Amino acid sequence: MASSLLFSVTRRDPVLISPAKPTPHEFKHLSDIDDQEGLRFQIPAIQFYRNDPSMGERDPAQIIRNSIAEALVFYYPLAGRLREGPDRKLTVECTGEGVVFIEADADVSLKEFGDALQPPFPCFEELLYDVPGTGEILNCPLILIQVTRLTCGGFIFAIRINHTVSDGIGIVQFMSAVGELARGARAPSILPVWQRELLNARDPPRVTHVHREYDQVPDTKNTTIPLSNMVHHSFFFGPTEISALRKHVPHHLRRCSTFELLSACLWRCRTIAVGPDPDEDVRIICVVDARTKFKPPLPAGYYGNGIALAMAISPAGKLCQSPLGYALELVKKAKSDVTQEYMQSVADLMVIKGRPHPHFTGVRTYAVSDVTRARFGEIDFGWGKPVYGGPAKAGVGAIPGVSSFFIPFRNGKGEDGLVVPICLPGPDMERFAVEIESMIQETMLDGSSKL
Which of 185, 363, 206 is closest to 274 using CA atoms?
363
Is 232 assigned a catalytic role? Answer: no
Which of 166, 123, 128 is closest to 44 using CA atoms?
128
Contact between 94 and 110 under an 8 Å Cβ cutoff? The reply is: no
Is 35 assigned a catalytic role? Answer: no
Instruction: Fill in the DSSP letter of residue 302.
Output: B
Contact between 123 and 7 under an 8 Å Cβ cutoff? The reply is: yes
Q: What residues contact 252, with CB distance under 8 A and at least 6 apart?
A: none
Q: What residues contact 57, with CB distance under 8 A and at least 6 apart?
A: none
Question: In Å, how far from its chain's centre is CA 180?
Answer: 23
Amino acid at 427: P
User: Is the alpha carbon torsion for 131, 133, 135, 141 positive or negative?
Assistant: negative
Q: What residues contact 176, with CB distance under 8 A and at least 6 apart?
A: 188, 190, 375, 378, 379
Instruction: Fill in the DSSP letter of residue 443.
Output: H
User: Is the alpha carbon torsion for 282, 288, 290, 292 positive or negative?
Assistant: negative
Q: Which of 163, 232, 248, 359 is catalytic?
A: 163
Specify which residues 159 forms β-bridges with: 45, 145
* DSSP H/E element including 264: helix 258-274
Amino acid at 304: G
| Residue positions counted in the chain | 451
Distance CA 308, CA 434 (A): 32
Distance CA 91, CA 27 (A): 6
Q: What residues contact 146, with CB distance under 8 A and at least 6 apart?
A: 11, 101, 102, 103, 104, 127, 128, 129, 156, 157, 158, 159
Question: In Å, how far from its chain's centre is CA 366?
Answer: 14
Q: Which of 167, 289, 380, 428 is catalytic?
A: 380
Active site members: 163, 380
